[in-house]
Structure 1
Amino acid sequence: MAPKILFVLTSHNKLGNLDKPTGWYLPELAHPYHVLHSKADITVASPAGGESPLDPASIEASKDDTVSQDFLKNNESVWKTTQKLDSFLGKANDFDAIFYVGGHGPMFDLVDSPTSQQLIKEFWEAGKIVSAVCHAPAVFYDVKLSDGSLLVAGKEVTAFTNEEEEQVGLTKAVPFLPEDALQKASGGKFVKTQPWGEKVVVQGKLITGQNPASATGVGEAIAKALGV
């Protein structure tokens, strides 16, 4: 039987106090989906369920990326028919992995979501793969395990960096910076490569990627961890 993966998307579509749309970032769903959809059974969830907002800027930014453009044309149902995130509480044993797709959206509705934190805790404590790319590893920063410790404490982790956020001009638009939060929560174990370079960090069953360029690598790391 194919392994089962729960993909998590944001339901948030507005960028902080800026009058700009946001959401999930196209290549960060398209590339992992491209790697995994033929090897695993993928279920997609979001906090509100239904259609998850795609960041329009990411369509433009990946206009020359054939994987992203093919996904956009052929896989609309993946993000337009998501299930409600809270319906998966208590169901970690039905899955083999959970994967959070990046974009600025998750910074507003997933990072401090008790539902999301509970779900991550359940997956982790059931021995499942827990993974995320770009801004989405920020969802792990405050996840506490049953013994009260932080999930990422003492573990190497990566995410969208302060320098990358500065280069896209959105440092002030987000509630906090993923690098700062994860550096603190991990006890100084945040790792990164140069801005926009590929960086995937595998710490046992915790898999994180730095930015859009790392999305394929995260998908491949999940496949490898699942043995498919």
Structure 2
Amino acid sequence: MKRILIPVTNHATLGDTDQANGTYSPEITHVIHELTAAGFDYEIASIKGGKAPLYGTDIEGDEVNRIVLADDNFQNRINNTIPVSQVNIDEYDAVFYPGGFGLLSDLSTNTDFAQLAAKHYENGGVIAAVCHGPAALLPITLSNGDSLLASISVTGFTREEEIDFGTITHIPFLLEEALSRKAARFNKVQPWQELVIVDKRVITGQNPTSAHGVGKALVTSLS
């Protein structure tokens, strides 16, 4: 059975504000929905381990989000995440980083997960991320010293979407700019439209609308 490692943030607020944050629920639930439908298994990990903060759990009309959140298996895993120190990366077929603003404050600079992801990728593994999730790709350095992103075309949450969402002045850094400076190419479509980019074994999605497509692309890459 294919197994996917899902690293999530421990940071529970938007940047340095007191606004509740963490991982944006639909971006993890929609991908997990696709993975479980394909018969794959997953584990959720974080830097510190333990209960991981989620927001966007009460969105009306998102049936997939509601179904996954109601699953006891998911609740057990999000409330008891594996600390990075206990992760054996060789046990997984892919790594998926869901978004949410929280990871801009921890996973975007964390070298522990970055080293695991580099090893995973160089051993033929797949890396996926959606919305702000690609921030976790920024610190990934390959064994030759190159950034993973240096030869990869990606997408992620855009400046226009930050402005629309009212977060442009609260975020620790602008993801689009950070990715544009490091990646071979940054791609985007109009705000809130779906965009999924698959380049080599890296899958990225622009925004929450793209989570479903990232899940499908991840399943396809592992099938």
TM range (shorter): over 0.9
Q: How many Å separate the matches in 2 of 1:122 and 1:154?
A: 17
State whether residues 110 and 139 of structure 2, in contact with CA within 8 Å, keep that contact through their aligned partners in structure 1: no
2:21 aligned partner: 22
1:146 aligned partner: 143
Unaligned 5+ residue runs, structure 2? none
Q: 1:125-159: CA deviations, max 9, x gaps?
A: 11100111100101112321111111011321001
Q: How many Å separate the matches in 2 of 1:92 and 1:16?
A: 29
Q: How many Å separate the matches in 1 of 2:153 and 2:94?
A: 19
State whether residues 109 and 138 of structure 2, in contact with CA within 8 Å, keep that contact through their aligned partners in structure 1: no
SS at match of 2:148: coil
Matched, 1:170 2:167: yes
* Corresponding residue to 2:112 among 115, 136, 153: 115
Q: 1:11-39: CA deviations, max 9, x gaps?
A: 11022222211100011011001000242
Aligned residues: 220
Matched, 1:36 2:35: yes
Q: How many Å separate the matches in 2 of 1:86 and 1:107?
A: 20
State whether residues 142 and 185 of structure 1, in contact with CA within 8 Å, keep that contact through their aligned partners in structure 2: no
SS at match of 1:175: coil
> Which of the two has greater strand per residue?
2
State whether residues 152 and 200 of structure 2, in contact with CA within 8 Å, keep that contact through their aligned partners in structure 1: no
1:211 aligned partner: 207
* Corresponding residue to 1:100 among 74, 88, 97: 97
2:84 aligned partner: 85
Q: CA RMSD in A?
A: 1.2
Q: 1:66-117: CA deviations, max 9, x gaps?
A: 01012222232231121112222xx332211010111001111100011121
Which letter maps to 2:204? T
SS at match of 2:23: coil
* Corresponding residue to 1:125 among 101, 117, 122: 122
1:10 aligned partner: 9
